[in-house]
Structure 1
Amino acid sequence: MQGKAVLHLSGVCALSVVVMLGLGLLGHLRQLADPTDVVLQDGILLVMMVGLNLEWLQVPVFFRSELPLGQQVRLNAVPLLVMALTWLDLLGMAQNWFHPFAMPVRLALIVAGCVAVFEEYFFRGVVLTLLMRALPHHLLAAVVGSGLIFGSFHLINWVHQPLALTLLQGANAWAMGLLLAAIYLRTRALLWPILWHFTHDLGVLLLTGVVVDTRPTTSVTVGTGLAIIYVVTALVLLRPDKQATLTWPLTAISHHG
């Protein structure tokens, strides 16, 4: 199982990178607007990934939780608070910069939705589970590894923004990936990470648009603080006494809840 999972993970990540670069180049050559490019790219990638999963990977992806709603909300208490603080920080920076929305709200909703659904299905639904299969007795290592893969995919932004800012985004995405993986594992519902991811990206898109300039969306101090909160919250959610109940993604079934 471990060798097969590694092969699946390597193949699907390599294929995703090639398709992302190819679609990005095609969008550039066709002179598509950046939001249109993102929607088409993530839409195509999502359809491709769902098809590959159904026909090849056979990774179970659960969207709805069997836990009571109240328990799900309690598990997401800190992430929901961080989400609210992030929005307050984004709105405060927008007010300080006298910066109007960089993108129409309707378009931002579409882009944020496409990005959130594809990235959560791929990184939390597929990549995390394949890593757990490859490392069946090392849950935290699988979670950290999935976060590193999630962060490394953000390095593609280097093509249109400074390296320092890209590395900062990658590090923050790694920390966020840990939190989203912990939320998914504890709730067994991909809808929660999708909601968190969507809300986060919606704020960033409204403030900066798709192409980020040399200004980070938050200060380095705030970004570092948020990253620490992400990691600590993930470790609390994945504390040793809870890990024994989190082996459900290892089951090789094709049922998608």
Structure 2
Amino acid sequence: MNLRAMKTTVGIWLCLIGVFAIIHFAYLFAGIESDNRVIVDDALLTLLVLLLNKKYLQLKLHHQIDLSLNELLRINSLPIFFYCVYIASWFVNLQNLSLMRIADTILLALAAAVFEETFFRGILMNNILQHSPRNPNSYLSAILVSSVLFGLTHMINLFGQSFSATLLQVINAFAIGVMLAAIYLRTGSLKWTILYHFMLDFTGILASGTVIIATPTLQKWVAVLVVDLLYISAGMILIRKSQEKKLEF
């Protein structure tokens, strides 16, 4: 990855952080604390990102890659396993939840998944690849840079939760980002990454009742880090050198 790709990618990300900060302090000034503000924020940010991309960046967010159903299932094997776990968790909690709560959670999770996948896996990764040669090193750089920025973005949650919870969230987001970025490169579509991101946020919000994460226990740290290793390993397997031709789009 060349210096231009790094500068423009980090610059785009910093602009987003600036918008996040302005919105956050506007809510603080207005005394608005509802989690539902995330729905409005992410919906507007998605539209803004898409409009700016169409007018200025002109990055292609989806790519045509001919894959069989078996290949798609292999690429998404780890997320599919976790889909099943998340769905089981959802059914366990379903009997204790109101329809309004479920609807709110769906909107929260969907808004976050669409915006974050469009921006981090779509805009940032494609911006890096647009200025880089098509080879495994460039793919790895795109994955790592976009995932680091994805993780660091969660530091903004320090405004509402403990440092320990935020640090774990940053690490977890980085690991998830590695796997989702690799899946995006291998499938050429944000649909799979949006689906997994949605399921992850949906079940997480249902379990905690809020987008704010409680201070993690030692057991929670260990459990999350073990899963994070699986995410990173899956990503590295998907973009290994033997897959170079399949990664090209």
Q: Pick the TM interval, shorter chain.
A: 0.7 to 0.9
- Partner Cα distance (1:246, 1:204) in 2: 31
Deviations 1:59-90 (A, max 9, x none): 11117764233431232112211333355578
Question: Which residue number in structure 1 is paired with residue 109 of structure 2?
Answer: 112
Tell me how many residue pairs correspond in the alignment.
243
Question: Which residue number in structure 1 is paired with residue 214 of structure 2?
Answer: 213
- Partner Cα distance (2:13, 2:119) in 1: 9
Q: Which is further off, 102-111 or 226-235? A: 102-111
Question: Which residue number in structure 2 is paired with residue 227 of structure 1?
Answer: 228
Q: TM-score, normalised by structure 2?
A: 0.87
- Partner Cα distance (1:159, 1:23) in 2: 13
- Residues 246 and 161 of structure 1, relative CA distance in 2, 3 Å threshold: same
Deviations 1:224-243 (A, max 9, x none): 11101101111111111112
Q: Does structure 1 retain, via aligned residues, the 8 Å contact 2:157–2:166?
A: yes
Q: Cα offset for 1:247?
A: 3.2
Q: Cα offset for 1:180?
A: 0.3
Tell whether 2:79 aligns with 1:82: no
Question: Which residue number in structure 2 is paired with residue 238 of structure 1?
Answer: 239
Tell whether 2:52 aligns with 1:52: yes
Q: Does structure 2 retain, via aligned residues, the 8 Å contact 1:115–1:198?
A: yes
- Residues 3 and 54 of structure 1, relative CA distance in 2, 3 Å threshold: farther
Deviations 1:161-198 (A, max 9, x none): 11111111100110000000011111111100000000
Q: CA RMSD in A?
A: 2.7
Question: Between the two proteins, what is the percent identity of the paired residues?
Answer: 28
Q: Which is further off, 6-15 or 59-68? A: 59-68
Deviations 1:91-150 (A, max 9, x none): 88x79xxxx559800000001000000000000001112223444342212211111011
- Residues 101 and 154 of structure 1, relative CA distance in 2, 3 Å threshold: farther
**In the TM superposition, what are the counterparts of 1:17-32 in structure 2 within 5 Å?**
17-32=17-32
- Residues 182 and 175 of structure 1, relative CA distance in 2, 3 Å threshold: same
Which sections of structure 1, spanning at least 5 residues, go unmatched?
A: 249-257
**In the TM superposition, what are the counterparts of 1:93-242 in structure 2 within 5 Å?**
104-136=101-133, 137=135, 138=137, 139-208=139-208, 209-215=210-216, 219-242=220-243
Question: Which residue number in structure 2 is paired with residue 247 of structure 1?
Answer: 248
Amino acid at match of 2:215: T
- Partner Cα distance (1:6, 1:57) in 2: 15
- Partner Cα distance (2:97, 2:162) in 1: 22
Q: Does structure 1 retain, via aligned residues, the 8 Å contact 2:39–2:111?
A: yes
Question: Which residue number in structure 2 is paired with residue 254 of structure 1?
Answer: none
Q: Does structure 1 retain, via aligned residues, the 8 Å contact 2:36–2:104?
A: no
Q: Cα offset for 1:3?
A: 5.0
- Partner Cα distance (1:126, 1:171) in 2: 21
- Partner Cα distance (1:65, 1:115) in 2: 26
Deviations 1:183-219 (A, max 9, x none): 1111111100000000000001111212223247x82
Q: Secondary structure at the match of 2:80?
A: helix
Q: Secondary structure at the match of 1:34?
A: coil
